[in-house]
Amino acid sequence: MSAGLLVAVLLASALLEGSGWAGGVGDGNLRLSVTVNGRADSDVRPPEVRVGAWVVKRYRLLNVSEADLHRVRVLDPGAPAGSVRCPAVLPAAEEAECTARFRAVAGRHVHPVRAEGDVPSLRTRLTATARAGYAGVAGALGLTEEVVVATPGTGGGGASATVTYTVTNRGNLPLYTVRVEDPGLALAPGAPDCGGQGGTVAVLAPDTSAFCRTTVRLRPGTYRSAGRASGSDRATTLGTGGERVTAPLLTAGASAVFVVREAPVAPVPRTPAPGAPAAGAPAAGSSAGAAGASAGAGAVPAPGAPGALARTDTNAGTGTGTDAAGRPAAPAAPGAGAAPGAVPPSSVSPGAVPPAPPPGLRRAAGVDDEGFLGRVRRRGREAAEFGVATTLLLLLIPAAVAAALLGSRRK
């Protein structure tokens, strides 16, 4: 064997030992088929899966080449990222399965799926494609409510409350026989008016709403409305293994707290007694009585008459009068309107003669009422009287002493 041939054989052996045999590799050597919830023709008839239920996709890969595939992977835009699991290596002339499991979302999701595997010795990549997907379906029932309480009327008895229930189909399938009730208000069956259907909406199309109303009479207090809605989309879907799943009963709820106020009590009109004056009018004789009382208050009994009192000036300190000579009298000091020693009228019973005040009291009252000039004159008179008395005492005392001495000598 020549040296050149030997080198070629050794080189071929090294290549075969390092990377494995890579014969029979080309387009079409990798095949792909997909089943979705047990259905193989999901590209033509995507299975209906209820929104929120599980979707299981199975990707069957068949390697008909004569080389092992490395870094096997499936790219599916209809599956959440990272949800597909595949084996790392797919041996030659064998098959493997990749799987994905996730929750269904509303809408039709049919997309091309691509499977790939690498042949490192040939620096090539085998691929395969298929179409697969599912349809997420469901009627989604929603409910809201609003309460309007009427203003209470007079006379008591509470007030009326109007409750409006709004049912909405947020799904992509029609809803049938949607019933509305309110156990919180203990409504009778069929009490809410849903357009003349007796508490029931016959068909509610996707993305539409219907209104039901009821009016109840309630006593004052706090109440909680608890609306309930139920219906069905009547859709049969497929489970993860291809089994048929019947449509469930769809429900929704809402609540509202409201207060019914106490109604104001109507005022009762008062009927005046026969002969009684109307409201706000003075009673008969009241003006005359007031005038008589005013005149009586200012009248001065005649001197010596029974029950005669000193006149009390209710405007003392502001009024003026005249003295005996007809000259204007000085204004009286505050609180000096009553005569000295006078007894207040409130302390004397009608017809009784008030007792005469003691002399000392009369003098003290006179002193309090004499004014500043009167006090000066009185003090002058008292000083003069005091001087005369002192002179007499100075004269009488020596005379008495002299008489006493003369008498003692005669003895």
pLDDT digit string (tens) for 194-249?
A: 987 788 999 999 999 999 999 999 999 999 999 999 999 999 999 999 999 999 99
Q: What pLDDT digit, counting tens, does each position of 129-149 carry?
A: 999 999 999 999 999 999 999
Lowest average pLDDT, out of 220-224, 278-282, 335-339, goes to 335-339
Q: What pLDDT digit, counting tens, does each position of 106-115 carry?
A: 999 999 999 9
Whether the predicted pLDDT of 88 surpasses 80:
yes
Judged on CB neighbours under 10 Å (0-12, 13-18, 19+), 126 is buried
Confidence of residue 156 (pLDDT cuts 50, 70, 90): low
What pLDDT was estimated at residue 80? 96
pLDDT, average across residues 317-337: 43
Which residues face 103 on adjacent strands? Answer: 54
Whether the predicted pLDDT of 126 surpasses 90:
yes
Element (H, E) at 142: strand 141-149
Architecture of domain 141-260: Sandwich (2.60)
Token pair, residue 164, equals 């409006």
Residue 115 CA to residue 129 CA, distance in Å, equals 6
What pLDDT was estimated at residue 411? 54
* % of the chain beyond a pLDDT of 90: 51
Instruction: Kindly list the domain boundaries of the chain, sorted by start residue.
Output: 20-137, 141-260
Phi, psi of 88 (to 5 degrees): -70, -35
Indicate the average pLDDT of the chain. Answer: 76
CATH class of 20-137: mainly beta
Beta pairing, strands 107-119 & 124-137: antiparallel
pLDDT, average across residues 373-399: 68
pLDDT, average across residues 63-73: 96
Confidence of residue 377 (pLDDT cuts 50, 70, 90): confident
Which residues face 256 on adjacent strands? Answer: 225
Residue 382 CA to residue 363 CA, distance in Å, equals 15
Same fold, 20-137 and 141-260: yes
Residue 281 CA to residue 279 CA, distance in Å, equals 6
Which residues face 392 on adjacent strands? Answer: none
Residue 338 CA to residue 315 CA, distance in Å, equals 11
